[in-house]
Amino acid sequence: MFATIDQYLPLKRLAHWTATTPDAIYLSQPTASGECRDFTWAEVSDTAHRMAAHLHAQGWPAGSRIAILSKNSAWWYMADFAIWLAGHVSVPIYPSLTGESVRYVLEHAEAKAVFVGQLDSSDRAAMLTGIPATLDVIRLPTAGAPLPNDRAADEWQALVARHAPLPNPPDRGAEELATIIYTSGTTGLPKGVMHHFRALAVSGYALKLAYNATPDDRVLSYLPLAHVADRVASEMHSLTAGMRVWFSLGLETFTADLQRARPTFFLSVPRLWTKFRQAINAKIPQPQLAAMLADPEKGPLVRKQILSQLGLDAVRVPTFGAAPMPPDLQQWYLDLGLDMLEVYGMTENMAVSHRTSAGAGRIGYVGQPSFEVEARLDPANSELLVKSPGQMIGYYKDEAKTAEAMTDDGYFRTGDVGEIDADGYFRITGRAKEAFKTAKGKYVAPSQIENKLGAHGYIEACCVAGNGFPQPFAMLMLSPAAAAKCAEEGGRDAVGSVLAALREQVNATLDPHERLDRLIVVPDAWTVDNGMVTPTFKVKRAALEARYGAAFEAWAARREVVVWA
């Protein structure tokens, strides 16, 4: 197996496509003017080798860590390749962190330099204060106009123009450290997950094997490249299969970027798939849409028009991950002709864990073990244990946490509790460390309750809590549709009635000790910027409990089914 995989090491694939299809377009980068700049394989390779020459000239020891702090772009890829070509290790950083978090990652990784591009933070100036004064800074073309407090920095274009391509880049071995991916983390400080080049190769190869990707396929890179999901689904997948990659400038242009790219392979999180549906239902109410789709003459045209409007008409592999998708949402897309395929994995195994094959999905299950993956349940608590060819080397500078995360025979402890059926499909029923005990001494696993609530169109995000209380309760962030309804005369009462009915509906499916005492509608948004959710929109339970914990008793004392905080 390893002999086959070694052919797919990232830099070998870059060299392969550059030699065999040098003039084929690899990366398509939208610009602020609305135009799109294309880069061929030959251009990407030449530019990366020129930047590698600059990095190599700094005389840093082999294996030095170099960070990338930027939203996704063609230059993000080229910076990553340049770091590897120069013999170093790339450290991606989320472009939405606080300055304090940026500083922690840079200092913990002992980074020698940082590439800075477009950021996703509402306070860019504060974020940039996290870059230590001693660090070399290289501004990517997407960095925008300098702020008054921006550090002095080298410009990407000038450095590329100044250097000839690095003539003899080092041969990066399969077992060499390639990248350190700092987990976004729902609790505590992020951990630096170390991966060698072979794990990166396996991640792309496993996707190509599962979904038969070819150079004719297209993918849109828009989920944070600092997260394992897009790093695998776009960067590693494209290197393996030779497919074209399009980028998005951000939320404001996302629809246009998606329509321009018309991806054939599309990965998203359920939250975005839900927003697509809400956008369509805002124009065509669901009963009317259902009737139109059921019409044998109009149905095919309506499906085509809707998917074209979303930019999804060319998608042949629609995938989702990071959170469960409500069954009715999966069925909604199936009615449109998209068979939603769930993929599952962790940063610690480079997302090489479980996947769903086309036409073989089972609603409620994340899929079967991926390429060369072994999976079993811990008999003590039904936690999923995975042994993967994409397994991490370990956590950077933390042998104790590395040992804690692994079994004696080399399986990674995922933290997800569930069931494995006779065909190897895995169903998640909770998190091993998220369960809390009520005042009655009963344990509650919040994730499954949250999934039931989150399936409703009025709820954007939710968090079930109640440690030490007689019964659990849920904090809710309303969806834009529900918020708009609340703004109407009598709208808040109407939304409250819907939520009260939802509580009854969900409680009817739960054991007595799990039933929700109340739903609390909070007034503020949970965003990446304010630290309430991760960049993949997972709620940070500890952060939410810290923010609202002081009000828990007062909310309980009101004895209302729906509490407006």
Q: Are residues 262 and 393 in the same domain?
A: yes
**What average pLDDT score do residues 513-520 get?**
90
381 within domain boundaries? yes
Which of 429, 461, 483 delimits the end of a domain? 429
pLDDT value at 536 more than 70: no
**What average pLDDT score do residues 35-61 get?**
97
pLDDT of residue 188: 59
pLDDT of residue 16: 97
Rounded to a whole number, what is the distance in angstroms from the first to the last CA of the chain?
56
The model's pLDDT over 208-244, given as tens digits with 9 standing for 90+, comes to: 999 999 999 999 999 999 989 999 999 999 999 999 9
240 within domain boundaries? no
pLDDT value at 123 more than 80: no
pLDDT of residue 242: 97
Question: Coil, helix or strand for 487?
Answer: coil
Q: Are residues 393 and 487 in the same domain?
A: no
- Non-local (6+) Cβ contacts of 347 within 8 A are 181, 183, 193, 227, 228, 392
**What average pLDDT score do residues 177-191 get?**
79
Mean pLDDT of the chain: 90
Which of 365, 394, 429 delimits the end of a domain? 429
From CA 528, how far away is CA 189, in angstroms rounded? 15
104 within domain boundaries? yes
Q: Are residues 285 and 148 in the same domain?
A: no
> What is the number of other CB atoms lying within 10 angstroms of the CB of residue 35?
8
Beta carbons of 373 and 385 less than 8 angstroms apart: no
**What average pLDDT score do residues 161-179 get?**
94
Q: Are residues 261 and 139 in the same domain?
A: no
119 within domain boundaries? yes
Q: Are residues 453 and 425 in the same domain?
A: no
**What average pLDDT score do residues 383-412 get?**
95
State the residue range of the domain holding 441: 436-564
pLDDT of residue 111: 97
The model's pLDDT over 434-446, given as tens digits with 9 standing for 90+, comes to: 777 786 667 687 8
Total domains in the fold of the chain: 3
Q: Are residues 411 and 445 in the same domain?
A: no
226 within domain boundaries? no
44 within domain boundaries? yes
pLDDT value at 1 more than 60: no
- Non-local (6+) Cβ contacts of 446 within 8 A are 430, 431, 434, 435, 436, 463, 464, 465, 472, 541
Backbone angles phi, psi at 367, to 5 degrees: 120, -170
Q: Are residues 41 and 10 in the same domain?
A: yes
> What is the number of other CB atoms lying within 10 angstroms of the CB of residue 358?
13
pTM, 2 dp: 0.83
pLDDT band at residue 470 using 50, 70 and 90 as cut-offs: confident
Which of 429, 463, 491 delimits the end of a domain? 429
**What average pLDDT score do residues 401-424 get?**
92
Q: Are residues 187 and 302 in the same domain?
A: no
Sign of the Cα torsion 533, 536, 537, 540 reads: negative
pLDDT value at 183 more than 60: yes
